[in-house]
Structure 1
Amino acid sequence: MLAIISAVLFFIAFLINAADISTNDTFTSTNVMLLGLTVLALHVAGIGSGWSVRGRSRR
């Protein structure tokens, strides 16, 4: 799920940069790209990867 969110953030950053859309200082393409990198780092670290069942054995 986090990988999809980061892909969407990268796409938004690309659109802001490619279309030369003027935004305020908060939503520049660099800031959106850094948010995407943060979410991607959380995904790679294993945060938000789903529920894991521990202590249950299958027979």
Structure 2
Amino acid sequence: MLAILAAIVFGFALLLDFLNTNLGAPDLFNNWTLALIGFLLLSLYLAGVGRGPGGSGRGRWYYGRRPGRG
């Protein structure tokens, strides 16, 4: 989830850069600030904070006979 949020933040920063706008607050929403937020989210994801791709700690998700195994 954090990697998806990082991708959204990076995409938003790229869009602001392409449109050459600062949303009326040049010190609050500049490209470097959004890049740092994206890097923070990406580093938290890589550090294992939050749920990863497999869902941390779920264990087996299917109990009983597996279909198609005869």
TM class, shorter-length: 0.7 to 0.9
Decide which of 38, 47, 52 is 1:45's aligned counterpart. Answer: 47
CA RMSD of aligned residues (A): 1.6
- Normalising by structure 2, we get a TM-score of 0.69
Structure 1 residues 1-59: Cα deviation after superposition (integer angstroms, max 9, x where no partner): 000000000000001111101331111111011100000000000000244158xxxxx
Indicate the residue corresponding to 1:5 in structure 2: 5
Q: 1:4 to 1:53 in 2, by over 3 A?
A: closer
Q: Report the count of equivalent residues.
A: 54
Asked whether 1:27 is paired with 2:29, we answer yes
> In 2, Cα distance between the equivalents of 1:33 and 1:27?
10
Structure 1 runs of 4+ aligned residues shifted over 3 Å read none
Unaligned residue ranges in structure 2 (runs of 5+): 60-70
TM-score normalised per structure 1? 0.80
Describe the SS at the equivalent of 2:49.
coil
**Which structure dedicates a bigger proportion of its chain to helix?**
1
